[in-house]
């Protein structure tokens, strides 16, 4: 096992796969947590999406501990998530909200538990929020509630009594639209110049992992603004 270790929650998704690949190219040992296996990762925890929250937590914590075998993590990157629309008059509003809570909040909370047990002092814990949630989300209520919870978790974990290792940094990245194959399929006529590339996020998270001085203050909500394919970070 190499000296540097990362967990990527959502490591088989569009963004997660790019992050695993990038960290592996930098000689990191990478563990993927997802509902399907990432063949590139050094280790995998495959979660049953139909299991309860506590069942998923139990499996993940046990499996991560066994894979680490006494070692500790440099970073925990939670890029699992999902999106769905729906206002209060949508008959699927509650159904979608439940799914989004599982995809966004369950994974983030379990990532916090991983950090409490296995993150190095001075390590990085990253969550994925959403820039849209800085304003009203009336047309996507379930998504707004779930991402707002992730933002609150990120802010709260930055405090000393949160239970994560000392000198750790907790940040949430808040993109607007990621340049994924799925988004291009859903929005084939969109102007993608304002979409954030997956490789940019992978490189950014790597920089924050290996260079603590480059990190934003712990508890930051880091909005990623992309314009004409140029990226800017705005700290909230």
Instruction: Give the chain's count of helices (H) and strands (E).
Output: 7, 8
Report the candidate in 69, 77, 143 with the shortest Cα–Cα distance to residue 111.
77
Exposed/middle/buried for residue 54 (C-beta within 10 Å: 0-12, 13-18, 19+)? exposed
Asked if 38 and 20 count as a contact pair (C-beta separation under 8 A), the reply is yes
69: left (phi over 0), alpha (psi -120 to 50) or beta: left
At a CB cut-off of 8 Å and minimum separation 6, what does 12 contact?
A: 32, 34, 35, 36, 37, 38
Give me the DSSP letters along 99-141.
Answer: HHIIIIIIHHHHHHHHHHHHEEEEEEEEEE--GGGGS--TTBH
Specify whether 143 is catalytic: yes
The active-site residue out of 9, 22, 118, 143 is 143
Cα separation of 156 and 23, whole Å? 27
Asked if 166 and 218 count as a contact pair (C-beta separation under 8 A), the reply is no
Which residues are the active-site residues? 143
């Amino acid at each position: 096992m190499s000296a540097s270790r990362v967990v990527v929650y959502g490591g088989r998704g569009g963004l997660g796969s790019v992050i695993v690949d990038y960290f592996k190219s930098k000689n990191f040992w990478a563990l993927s947590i997802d509902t399907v296996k990432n063949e590139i990762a050094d280790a995998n925890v495959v979660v049953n999406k139909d299991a309860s929250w506590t069942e998923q937590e139990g499996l993940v914590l046990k499996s991560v501990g066994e894979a680490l075998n006494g070692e500790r993590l440099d970073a925990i990157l939670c890029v699992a998530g999902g999106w769905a629309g729906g206002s209060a008059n949508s008959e699927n509003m509650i159904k979608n909200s439940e799914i989004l809570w599982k995809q966004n909040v369950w994974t983030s909370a379990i990532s916090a538990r991983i950090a409490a047990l296995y993150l190095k002092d001075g390590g990085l814990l990253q969550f994925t929020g959403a820039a849209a949630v800085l304003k009203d989300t009336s047309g996507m209520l379930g998504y707004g509630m779930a991402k707002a919870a992730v933002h609150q978790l990120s802010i709260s974990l930055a405090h000393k009594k949160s239970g994560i290792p000392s000198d750790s940094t907790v940040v949430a990245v808040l993109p607007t639209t990621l340049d994924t194959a799925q988004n291009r399929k859903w929005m084939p006529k969109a102007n993608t110049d304002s979409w954030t590339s997956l490789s940019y996020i992978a490189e950014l998270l790597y920089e924050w992992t290996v260079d603590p001085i480059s990190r934003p203050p712990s508890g930051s909500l880091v909005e990623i603004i992309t314009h004409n394919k140029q990226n800017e970070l705005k700290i909230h």
